Structure 1
């Protein structure tokens, strides 16, 4: 009897083992189809990058932004997505490309790109050049037309492998990531609404241009303005009870205290971008500078400082604002100071347990496919981006999945490594396949 039971147990184990081998083989077979499809379509993806890079889509060139949007819309139409190009008139920009498809199972994905670049029509960099057989220099090749094309290539591979129909996906390529329209609540409305419906957000910015890293946390960014007033008088009366220190001394005190009290806060930065002060000052209309009048023998009456504040979490941002306001309130004699923070701004992409887990899944796929280990980017090396607007709604979010291995972002030397297009598409496509089929 014991022998029979033993044999039955052995048989059951054998059946389970064989089943697992068959399942593993089928999974590998499907993933191999995905990988082969990426390789099959990589050359046309590179051509699509070249075509899009040669279309000027500086944020304020609305016609160019929409032309790039139409180019990518055509690609997604052919893959069975329901697509539309929106109007950005309400917030003073070109609008967005939105593409959706509803699947049968698995999590809902939000994939994020942007159509615009920092290279306007007056930029000296308007077309791509190949520095060698794989390094492309061009306007927006890394930030982020390469990432947009990786999204499209990923979708093509999933469709050809026969698994795209299972997936619920919304793709949003914004038209104003580099210079957001105002009001921000209208500019980012479509993105936020998509985030509310999503389970997983995938951003295709180029991260820190290192193919061995992925962004799991981004710092948010908001602007601030410091306005300081003092009592004008002959310089011989400075420091008296009646005249006090003047506006410039009070401004110096405030900025120095910002540094002393906050500079050691991990991942927090606060940068005064410009300062003007004197007897009379006048700001430029665009808020990027101005001029001042003053004399060496006159106590300064007015000072204005404009800067930005970057924090890795909403809690850190709130704490920093409180400390800065407290510093501003402790005025030198006969001075007054007001610190104002701009409404809106880019929120932080806070680090979550879900995002850390998603990075682990991404790393597993990368290692399984032979591309090596992938780790998290230091948040200090990851600026604000559209994915940050998902932070309050999506627990699992990673960014930096775009074209990488480059540099010179936002300059006339911007370049990217085209060899990373296929690599990033393969990892992303297999990651999505496994997530939908619960293979982690």
Structure 2
């Protein structure tokens, strides 16, 4: 472990964060009260205004970027355009800096505009409950506070900063991935602000990749009594495909496959001519990605021939696996050292969950992606935030940014010291 020496102006910036507890909490609760479900475009627009207003104070440029177009099969298998919100991009250059950091958050939540969970409130004197308080409106506030703290030090002009707050992370970032790729390509380090993996503050280390697919099966309708032999049953083909996909679990180490839903069918006296099978695959090894795609295409072809149906496979690997390699380990070690300087015990563990950190790592960055608040029960109406972690995690990220600013060598380069 490396001992972190905190300079006077760094200490003053960290002390400034200590004074912000009530302000950060009030902002988190106010933002939580704004519904910004992934498909609530008006709510996402409101959140973009609120977050953009905070970004305006950081001394860089702020812009809204349109999402990439995206279409996905509906319950009938017809491709339908999916509308996503616009994404915020902040940029502050630092001429001659060895490093440029990409900080990432998401303004969308899993709670739709008509979900009953809409209002934040207190659980006890140290815990609040509310939509997005942990995942990740509190995390965005931690991130922006850390940047503002860095701005108060003499190190501010020694670190390039870019921020993306996207509007579709909870639905796999399909509209914002081109922006993530563009900005990651000119950065050297990635930081993302998902909540910690446990309420105690354990970080997510290695992450499995995540792939979502929809197989559209087109058969032939026929009368179920008069001439069933003339029909081609799309539901039967979908069921066999679902079973074959489920059988992929364990075919590669730590790979799991989950057939999740079949849409299709109709009246009992008609051979169904259309079905849509939706499924998810999680995989730990980047080398297994080509195998997965080849295997799925082979299964689709085999079942299409056997049942005399047409099958179109949509989707793909939205989140590539993020293994813990030496490049990642170096950044995690730096976070651990910063934590030690703040009397925080930083640990990490592997997880099957995926996030934008997977994408940043796939674009070549070392990434720690759970630098947000401590909390839990995310994606449920029990989602909670441990209030003290707003200040705690803002200080951790601020010190991390200061350490990166002090570096004279690019973090993406081979370690030479």
Would you call these one fold, judging by a TM-score over 0.5?
Answer: yes
Number of the residue aligned with 2:392 = 423
Cα deviation for residue 261 of structure 1 reads 4.2
Does 1:346 find its partner at 2:318?
Answer: yes
**1:128-147 paired onto structure 2 within 5 Å:** 128-147=120-139
Cα deviation for residue 59 of structure 1 reads 2.7
Does 1:272 find its partner at 2:259?
Answer: yes
CA distance in 1, matches of 2:349, 2:242: 32
CA distance in 1, matches of 2:110, 2:176: 17
Deviation by residue 1:273-305 (Cα, 9 ceiling, x = unmatched)? 222xxxxxxxxxxxxx3443335xx98776542
Number of the residue aligned with 1:279 = none
Gaps of at least 5 residues in structure 2 are 71-82, 409-416
Number of the residue aligned with 2:214 = 224
Gaps of at least 5 residues in structure 1 are 1-23, 276-288
SS of corresponding position for 1:221:
strand
CA distance in 2, matches of 1:212, 1:354: 20
Number of the residue aligned with 1:357 = 330
CA distance in 2, matches of 1:310, 1:132: 37
**1:325-340 paired onto structure 2 within 5 Å:** 325-331=297-303, 335-336=307-308, 339-340=311-312
- Name which of 23, 45, 49 aligns with 1:70: 49
CA pair 361-248 structure 1, distance change in 2 beyond 3 A: same
SS of corresponding position for 2:43:
helix
CA distance in 2, matches of 1:244, 1:299: 6
SS of corresponding position for 1:325:
helix
CA distance in 2, matches of 1:312, 1:25: 33
Does 1:188 find its partner at 2:188?
Answer: no
Does 1:94 find its partner at 2:73?
Answer: no
CA pair 144-170 structure 1, distance change in 2 beyond 3 A: same
- Give the structure with higher Rg (CA): 1
Deviation by residue 1:372-422 (Cα, 9 ceiling, x = unmatched)? 1311332x1x23x23333234233112111122221x22222222122222
Number of the residue aligned with 2:20 = 41
CA pair 420-340 structure 1, distance change in 2 beyond 3 A: farther
CA pair 327-368 structure 1, distance change in 2 beyond 3 A: same
Q: Which structure's residues are more often helix, by fraction?
A: 1
Cα deviation for residue 435 of structure 1 reads 2.2
CA distance in 2, matches of 1:65, 1:244: 46
CA pair 247-43 structure 1, distance change in 2 beyond 3 A: closer
Cα deviation for residue 213 of structure 1 reads 2.0
Cα deviation for residue 332 of structure 1 reads 10
CA distance in 2, matches of 1:234, 1:290: 16
Contact 1:76/1:83 (<8 A) preserved: yes
CA distance in 1, matches of 2:400, 2:321: 21
Does 1:394 find its partner at 2:364?
Answer: yes
Task: Select between 146-155 and 125-134 the one with higher mean Cα deviation.
Answer: 125-134
CA pair 354-231 structure 1, distance change in 2 beyond 3 A: same
CA distance in 2, matches of 1:150, 1:180: 23
CA distance in 1, matches of 2:218, 2:53: 54
CA distance in 1, matches of 2:375, 2:191: 19
CA distance in 2, matches of 1:328, 1:62: 36
SS of corresponding position for 1:172:
strand
Contact 1:214/1:359 (<8 A) preserved: no
Contact 2:283/2:321 (<8 A) preserved: no
CA pair 260-86 structure 1, distance change in 2 beyond 3 A: closer
- Name which of 259, 263, 268 aligns with 1:294: 268
SS of corresponding position for 2:287:
helix
Cα deviation for residue 327 of structure 1 reads 3.6
SS of corresponding position for 1:309:
strand
Q: Which structure's residues are more often strand, by fraction?
A: 2
Number of the residue aligned with 1:213 = 203
- Name which of 165, 175, 180 aligns with 1:173: 165
Deviation by residue 1:38-82 (Cα, 9 ceiling, x = unmatched)? 212232111211121122222333232222222222222222122
SS of corresponding position for 2:252:
coil
CA distance in 1, matches of 2:305, 2:176: 44
TM-score (norm 1): 0.77
Deviation by residue 1:122-172 (Cα, 9 ceiling, x = unmatched)? 122222101112211111111110110001111122223443232200011
Cα deviation for residue 226 of structure 1 reads 5.5
Cα root mean square deviation, aligned:
3.4
Deviation by residue 1:287-326 (Cα, 9 ceiling, x = unmatched)? xx3443335xx98776542222233344323212322333
Does 1:373 find its partner at 2:346?
Answer: yes
Number of the residue aligned with 2:113 = 121
SS of corresponding position for 1:106:
coil
Number of the residue aligned with 2:100 = 108
Number of the residue aligned with 1:315 = 287
Aligned residues: 392
Contact 2:335/2:346 (<8 A) preserved: no
